[in-house]
Structure formats: C-alpha cells, structure tokens
Structure 1
Amino acid sequence: METLPPPSLIEVLEGKDTKVPQEAQRQKNLDAGALFVLKSKGSWLHCGYHLTTSIVAPALLSLPYALALLGWAAGVTFLAIAALVTFYSYNLISLVLEHHAQLGHRQLRFRDMANDIFGPGWGRYFVGPIQFLVCYGAVIGCTLLGGQCMKTLYLLSSPNGSMKLYEFVIYFGCFMLLLAQIPSFHSLRFINLISLILCLAYSACTTAGSIYLGNSSKGPEKDYSLSHNTQDRVFGIFNAVAIIATTYGNGMIPEIQATLAPPVKGKMFKGLLICYAIVTVTFFSVAVSGYWAVGNQAQGLILSNFLDDNNKPLVPKWLVFLANLFSLLQLAAVAVVYLQPTNVVLEKTFGDPKSPQFSARNVVPRLISRSVSVTVATTMAAMLPFFGDINALLGAFGFLPLDFVLPVVFFNVTFKPSKRSFVFWLNTIIAVVFSILTVIGSVAAVRQISLDAKDYKLFANV
C-alpha cells in the first residue's frame, strides 16, 4: 500500500490540503459574538443541562392556570401534544444543523439557519428580531418573577412589611448584573446542573403544597367548570395554548447545539432525552396537582394560591418558603441562559475577534454593554409587573413560530422529503396548525392585556 507524504507547509497555507482541520479555519472566520459566547467545548451532558434550564423554568408554575382555561381533557391533552411536538421539532432542528455541519458549514445561530436555508434577509429581518424579542422578553419575565419570589419570602417573615415589588425586582436585577458577566454559554454548564436540581426541588414542593391544599378545608371549593361566556371561553383557550407554548418554548436550540464540541452528531438527542425526562416529571406533576387542588380558581402562578388575601400561608409556611426560594435561585440561571442570544449580538457589535477574549479591548465593552442590557430589563420588569399577560403574548408571537413552525419547515426545505411521505405531511400539518394558532393566540393575548389594562399601573405593587 502506498504511503502518502504529509502535506507541505506551502500546501497547507495555500489551502491545497483537504485534510487541514476545518475547525481552525472556522474559528478564524467567526465574529466576536460566536467566537467568545458560543464556544464549542461542551459534551452531550452539558447540552442536557442547558436545555433543561431553558425549558424547565418557573414559568411551568403557570400550567395549572392554563388547565383552568382549558379544562381537564383539553388541558392534559394539549400539554402532552406540546411535549411531543416540541421534542420532535427540536430533534428536526438538530438534524438540520448536523447535516450542514457535515457539509462543512456549521450553523451556530438561529438567524444563520434562516439565512442559509431561506435566503439572505430572513435571519436579519424575521428570525433574528423575533428571537431577540422572545429571549430578552424571557429575561424581563424572569427578573419580574424573581422579584415576586423575593417579595413573597419577605412577606412570610414580615407580613406587615412595607417594601414594594419594584424594590425586590431591583435587588434581583443587581444580582443579575453579576451573573451576566459570565463570559460564555459553555461557562454556565455547572450553574445549569444546579438549576436542573432546583427545578426538581421547587416542583416537588409545589406538588406537595397542592396536594396538601387540595385535602385541606382552607383551600377553595373545587370547581372545574369553564366560563359560561362563549367569547371568554374561546379566547381563554387560545390564551392557555400560548401559555403552554411559552412553557415548552426554547427559542435558541442552534445556540445550545453550538456549545457542543465537534463532532455533534447524536449529542443533541441525548441532551433532549435528559431534558424531557425532567419535563415529564415536573410539568405534569405541577399542572395536574395544582389544577386538582384549586380548580378554576388557579392564579397566574400556582404559588399565589398558597397564600390568602392577607398573605398568610394556607399550606405549611416552610413549604411556601422553600418553593419560592428554589424558584428564585433557578430564575437567576434561567435569566442568564436567555441573555446569551443578546450577549452574542452585543459581542458581535462591540467586540474584536482579533483581540484576546479577556483583553481590555473586549472586557470593557462587554462589562458596559451587558450591564446596560440587564439594567434595561430590570427597569422594564419593575415598570410592567404583569407576568401572566406578558407570558402569553411572548408564547403566541415568538415561541410558537420559532419552536413549532420553523423547525418542520427547515427540515422539509433542507431534506426535501417526498410529498407522498408521512414525514412531509406530518411536518406540513404541524406548520399550518401552529401558524394559525400563532395568529389567534397573539390576538387572544393582546385582548387579555386590553381587558387587564384598567388594572395596569407603572411600578404597581402587585
């Protein structure tokens, strides 16, 4: 057998050697956002941590409220359908990303996928802006919810305390200022492992609290009937769909897959298995137990049902305390994860890929831009303390197209399955149905905001 000589240095420099490591060339061509934030060093286990933190977040505490709008049968059914569709969709995105990586062009961001598959402009003018709004909106929502958890902990110890919600939101925002400086997505892997444990902990506390309340005389009378007003019932259904979509939403699968060390084949699927094992345990236990305990009296966050109108606990005080404490701690991790797409944009705009990541040239702009980003999110959270309505609108307008519609369209355009195949028609049906739900859900969410507008007040102490 003939032995091939190693390539000469001249051949390497001229690009004539086909065995030159493509990763080195790829790293050379990356902008500062992709190079510094989306470091490709993680394992499939780290991917599972990132996925779990981005999906299994305290927004799941809204699921009993969604079931109250849908009823038992429709609520549990759609909860299961959303789990199956998102697991399927996220796998499709992973397959498309793997396909392009094998062709020598690894896509690191959602907008990169849109540009490569749909053509120039799609990433910049459609997918990019929607992803930014969804992820940054999630940061605002987490900051607000973190403030609400802090306020609950405060009222448990000082029932007559005079501190306002916006003060706690600011405290949470100050904590976020520190966490936001963590340099890369990959650097969050151990924080997200702790986050995975925390989501199991507060879900267990919430489920236990719901069972206690459901068996207690202190809880509301169980009534599972839906609204008798047809219009309210219809819009309530679509509002619930949007809430569930937000709960399962991710919006940054490509960015998470970008943290994987090459080769990436099969790693995302393993990460998704970890994530959806946690999803199954937490989502269904909280949703079913919470709705069973309080029926159609479920509030936007089920933890609010654990307190009476005077902020006195209806379940053991320590259980309320732990559920809120674990939620508060995990919210910090969730908010940092959803900051990553924003950080990518900021680093691309202000960073210099030719300078070291921790040089003054990159550290100073990073410190300033991320601090401004967190400050703006904190200010908006303090001004607009209506988490449930914002949650529904984000789900309808952003997570539905990003996580339900685009993945199946990306797959069909990339792999071009036969129009007679089951996969083609399954993907087409998913795209059409969830496109319709996107439009109707957005209308329903805006309607709910308009109905609640009479209660809106900047910096309200809700």
Structure 2
Amino acid sequence: MGDGEHESSIGAASQDQKELDAGARFVLKSKGSWLHCGYHLTTSIVAPPLLSLPYAFAFLGWSIGLVCLVIGALVTFYSYNLISLAIYLLLKPEGSLKLYEFVMVFGCLMLVLAQVPSFHSLRHINLVSLVLCLCYSACATAGSIYVGYSSKGPEKDYSVLGDTEDRIFGMFNAIAIIATSYGNGIIPEIQATLAPPVKGKMFKGLCVCYTIVALTFFSVAISGYWAFGNQSDGLILSNFVVDGRPLMPKWFILMTNMFTILQLSAVGVVYCQPTNEVLERAFSDPHRAEFSLRNVIPRVISRSISVIAAITIAAMLPFFGDINSLIGAFGFMPLDFVLPVVFFNLTFKPSKRSAIFWLNITIAVVFSALGVVAAVAAVRQIVLDAKTYRLFANV
C-alpha cells in the first residue's frame, strides 16, 4: 500500500471515529429479534392509559366509542407500518400514602431502572411487561364484570351527559384519550434495536403488539363501560372503590394495582430511551468502553436528573384523564396519525392516482381536523376542571 493510500485509509478511519454516536452505540444496540421488537412495541403502546378507555366511552356512547377504538387500531397499525417502511427504505439497514408521596416512591424505582444501559437490555423486562399488561387488563375486565353483575355497582346509564356543547367537546376530548392510548412516539428507536436483516421484522413485531392491543383495549373498554356507564372514572380502577368502600375483595384491588404499577415502570423506562440516547450522545465518549467510569458517571447523573424532573412534574399534576386527552391532542394525534402519512407522501411521492396516496391524504385531513378540535376540547376540559386542581393533589 502506498503512502497516499495509507494516509487516505487513516483519514477515513479517523472520520469514522469522529462520526461515532455514543447514543446509537450504547442505547440503540441493533441486536434484537422481531419477537423482542414485539415486546418493546407492546410495552410502549399497551400501557395504563388503556384503563381510561371506559371514561372515553362515557363521552362517546357504545357505537361511536367502538368505532373510534377500531379506527384508532387500524390507522395506527397502518401508520406505524408506514414509519417502519420509510425508515427501512431510507436507511437500507440490514395504601396510606398520599398520591404525590407514592409518585415519589415510584420515582425511586424509576431512578434504578433508568440506569439500564440499552434498549436491547430491556427485552426481558418488556416480556414481563407484556404479561403484566395482560394481567391487569384481565383483572380490570373481571372486576368490571363482577361489579356489573352485583348489586354494589351504580345503576347502568349509557346516556351521554351534558348539554349539546358539553357533548360535542366531550366527544373530541374522548377521541384524544383514545389517541393517547394508541400513541407510540418511539417507533424509530424500537426499529433501531433490530438486528439485520430488518425487513419484515417490524411488521411481525407490530402483529404481536396489536394482538395484545385487541385483547386488552377492547375487553377493558367494553366491560368497564358496561359496568359503570357514564359514571366511568378517568381511571377505571377508581370505580372499584366508592367513598372508601371497596366493591370487591381488597386483595383483588391491591393485586390489580400492583400489576399496573409494575408495568408502568417498564413503560416509563421504554419512553426514557430517546432521552437516554440524547444524553449519551451529549455526555458519553463513544471511544471509551460503555461501562468505563468516563461514561458511567455522566450516564447515572444525567439520567437521574431527567427522571427526577419527570417524577416531580407527575407528582404535581396527578390528573390522569385530563392529562391523557391533552397529550393525545397535542402529541400523539399529530405524531401517530398525521405526520407518518404526510411524510410518506412527501418522501416517496406515490402516484396521485394510487389508492395509497389518497388514503394517506384522507387520514391526514381527517385527523388534522380532529386534532385541532380535540386540542380545544382538551384545554376546555382542563379549564372546567381547574377548580378541583391543586399542586400535589391527593386525587
């Protein structure tokens, strides 16, 4: 090899070293199978917000509620596949505690779990998470059926409450809640964990995920709304206790809540991963070993600070139903329903005569309009409920 070629190879190697990304190297390790992908997807989508679905049905009623739930499943499954396809084509990869006190205790668990080094390392945790979401969904469904058939529950009333204005805004508020339940803002990060070849694995993972979605979302929504009707709370588990009086055995309520809390910790860790990637990129040295002191110390400090900030906000604002609708309207509806189809059309420019072009346009227009109205409805609902709000409330 001549001197020129030698210098060129050294320069190329040096450039490769400069382009090393600690976030991608340490957090988004491409080692996972499609089954691992399914675990990650399920944990990121099938989460405690699904326990708000009966509350959403209280604003929609049976027919519109079920239609919205089905449309949400179909559109997000389609959108997530579009995102996956776009990434593939572009990159060509081969008790007695107050609520806020409990949130702080839960935050201590999150501080520990947040130190899990990479997304791929979560595959076993997310398998357990998948089982847990099935468990608490089954418990919520069984509990609702138990109360529904007993004399302890409220009288079943499926009418949509309020005047015309309240009903209209309530409907869009409910749509935003459903959007939050289906929301997943980390599809690219999950796909990045797949070992090459990537083709087809994301679709299989989504099939695993949406099988669990079908089992959990519909069972909880239908049974919860059937049992409690328009009295469904923002979190269906709240309906299991009325004025401090449990409507079923205390051990069952405790078990259901434990399943939910444990799975929520896995969900939290999954959604920490994009932040972790950014923090690793900013503070870690990709030229040093992943577990060297140079990388471990800034990792622990930066991740701990981000978790503490998030937990503090969660403890300050524990209003699950209203926060769900706000996040759905401003975040998940544009991110998961609108942007994927818009970007697909702009990037790959399908023929204007093709069905996929007009399907994407229709989805973008319809859900953009819904998103705007849902955002207004979410803010309106928060304003209406503001009189009951206070920081660190024990709701």
Instruction: State which of 234, 238, 253 in structure 1 corresponds to 2:187.
Output: 253
Instruction: State which of 344, 349, 354 in structure 1 corresponds to 2:277.
Output: 344
> What is the CA deviation profile of residues 393-451 of structure 1, one whole-angstrom value per residue up to 9, with x for unaligned ones?
11110111111111111211222111011110000010111111121111111111111
Instruction: State which of 294, 298, 305 in structure 1 corresponds to 2:239.
Output: 305
Corresponding residue number in structure 2 for 1:288: 222
Code of the aligned partner of 1:251: G
Code of the aligned partner of 1:193: L
Corresponding residue number in structure 1 for 2:368: 435
Distance (Å, rounded) in 2 between the aligned partners of 1:292 and 1:45? 34
Distance (Å, rounded) in 1 between the aligned partners of 2:16 and 2:100? 45
Corresponding residue number in structure 2 for 1:364: 297
Distance (Å, rounded) in 2 between the aligned partners of 1:272 and 1:49? 9
Partner SS for 1:38? coil
Distance (Å, rounded) in 1 between the aligned partners of 2:91 and 2:289? 26
**Residues 59, 171 of structure 2: 8 Å contact kept:** yes
Question: Aligned runs of 1:145-160 on 2, under 5 Å?
Answer: 154=95
> What is the CA deviation profile of residues 319-343 of structure 1, one whole-angstrom value per residue up to 9, with x for unaligned ones?
2122111101101100000111111
Distance (Å, rounded) in 1 between the aligned partners of 2:219 and 2:57? 13
Are residue 412 (structure 1) and residue 360 (structure 2) matched?
A: no
Question: Aligned runs of 1:108-123 on 2, under 5 Å?
Answer: none
Distance (Å, rounded) in 2 between the aligned partners of 1:12 and 1:438? 57
Distance (Å, rounded) in 1 between the aligned partners of 2:217 and 2:3? 57
Distance (Å, rounded) in 1 between the aligned partners of 2:24 and 2:4? 29
User: TM-score, structure 2 length as denominator?
Assistant: 0.95
Cα distance change on mapping 1:273 and 1:283 into 2, 3 Å? same
Code of the aligned partner of 2:181: T
Instruction: State which of 133, 150, 164 in structure 2 corresponds to 1:199.
Output: 133
Corresponding residue number in structure 1 for 2:382: 449
Distance (Å, rounded) in 1 between the aligned partners of 2:263 and 2:211? 18
Instruction: State which of 12, 19, 23 in structure 2 corresponds to 1:29.
Output: 19
Shift of 1:361: 1.3
> What is the CA deviation profile of residues 157-190 of structure 1, one whole-angstrom value per residue up to 9, with x for unaligned ones?
xxxx4x3211111110011110000011111000
Corresponding residue number in structure 1 for 2:90: 100
Are residue 216 (structure 1) and residue 206 (structure 2) matched?
A: no
User: TM-score, structure 1 length as denominator?
Assistant: 0.82
Corresponding residue number in structure 1 for 2:70: 80
Question: Aligned runs of 1:377-416 on 2, under 5 Å?
Answer: 377-416=310-349
Instruction: State which of 22, 31, 46 in structure 2 corresponds to 1:56.
Output: 46
Shift of 1:8: 11
**Residues 235, 320 of structure 2: 8 Å contact kept:** no
**Residues 27, 35 of structure 1: 8 Å contact kept:** no
**Residues 17, 287 of structure 2: 8 Å contact kept:** no
Corresponding residue number in structure 2 for 1:276: 210
Distance (Å, rounded) in 1 between the aligned partners of 2:6 and 2:75? 46
Code of the aligned partner of 2:193: T
Shift of 1:29: 2.6
Question: Aligned runs of 1:325-336 on 2, under 5 Å?
Answer: 325-336=258-269
> What is the CA deviation profile of residues 337-381 of structure 1, one whole-angstrom value per residue up to 9, with x for unaligned ones?
011111111112211222221111111111101111111111111
Code of the aligned partner of 2:324: N
> What is the CA deviation profile of residues 97-150 of structure 1, one whole-angstrom value per residue up to 9, with x for unaligned ones?
110122x7x9xxxxxxxxxxxxxxxxxxxxxxxxxxxxxxxxxxxxxxxxxxxx
**Residues 251, 399 of structure 1: 8 Å contact kept:** yes
Shift of 1:228: 3.9
Distance (Å, rounded) in 2 between the aligned partners of 1:331 and 1:373? 17
Are residue 175 (structure 1) and residue 109 (structure 2) matched?
A: yes
Question: Aligned runs of 1:185-196 on 2, under 5 Å?
Answer: 185-196=119-130
Corresponding residue number in structure 2 for 1:459: 392
**Residues 161, 230 of structure 2: 8 Å contact kept:** no
Corresponding residue number in structure 2 for 1:354: 287
Query: C-alpha root-mean-square deviation of aligned residues, in Å?
Result: 2.2
Distance (Å, rounded) in 2 between the aligned partners of 1:165 and 1:307? 15
Corresponding residue number in structure 2 for 1:237: 171
Shift of 1:88: 0.4
Shift of 1:85: 0.2
**Residues 60, 283 of structure 1: 8 Å contact kept:** yes
Distance (Å, rounded) in 2 between the aligned partners of 1:265 and 1:12? 37
The runs of 5 or more residues in structure 1 that have no matched partner are 1-6, 107-153, 155-160
Corresponding residue number in structure 2 for 1:166: 100
Q: Percent identity?
A: 71
Distance (Å, rounded) in 1 between the aligned partners of 2:260 and 2:235? 12
Distance (Å, rounded) in 1 between the aligned partners of 2:207 and 2:299? 34
Shift of 1:27: 8.4
Q: List 4+ stretches of structure 1 deviating above 6 A.
A: 7-13, 25-28
